[in-house]
Amino acid sequence: MENNDNIAPSQNIHFCPSCKSENIQKLSLAYMSGASKTKGVGIGAGMGGGVGLGVGVGMASNQTLLSSMVAPPKISSPFAMALLIWALIMMAGVFAILIEISNDTLTFVLMTVLLFASLWCASKFYHWIDSGNKAKTKEYNKKYICFRCSNIFELAQ
C-alpha cells in the first residue's frame, strides 16, 4: 500500500494483461524492495562465478516466495568460464603434444600455436557468455510482476 508512493505516475497507465490490475511493478524494483526486507536470504550465485549453487531457503514466507519469483536471472561469470575453457584446452593440448611429438622444435611451435589458439577460444567464449548475460539482463529489465495475480509479463512498449 505504502509502496504505491514510489511508483511513478506514468507507470499507472500500465496494467496487468491477465487481471487488468494496475498494481504492477518492474521485476528488478520488486526484487530490490523485497530483498531489502528479507535480509539473509541468499539468492543467486552473484558475480563469483559459482554456477548453480542452490542456497537453501529455510522459510517459505510469501516475501521469500516473491523474492525468488522476481529474482534476476542467474548469470555465470564470463571470466571464470573463459579461464576454465582455456585451462581445459591447454591441458588437453599439452598432453597430446607431449605424447605425440618427440621433436623439440615442433613441440615448441605447437605449444606456441596452442597457447594462442586457446587464448583465442577463451576470448570468443568470454564474449559469448558476456553477451548472453547482457541479453538475459535486458530481458529481465523488461519484465513486470502483478501483485494481484502474481503474473509475470512484459509490457508492450
Among 136, 142, 143, 148, binds Zn ion (CB under 5 A): 148
Question: Using CA atoms, how far apart are residues 143 and 25, in angstroms rounded to an integer?
Answer: 9
Q: Does 16 bind Zn ion (CB under 5 A)?
A: yes
Q: Does 66 bind Zn ion (CB under 5 A)?
A: no
Cα dist. 68→39, 43, 74, 136, 157 in Å?
13, 7, 11, 16, 26
Q: Does 88 bind Zn ion (CB under 5 A)?
A: no
Contacts with Zn ion, 21-50, as mask; x by CB under 5 A: x-----------------------------
CA 85 to chain centre: 19
What's the full length of the chain, in residues?
Answer: 157
Complex with Zn ion: residue 18 or 141, whichever CB lies closer:
18
Complex with Zn ion: residue 47 or 149, whichever CB lies closer:
149
For Zn ion, the binding residues in 117-146 under the rule CB under 5 A are 146
The C-alpha cell at 55 is: 542456497
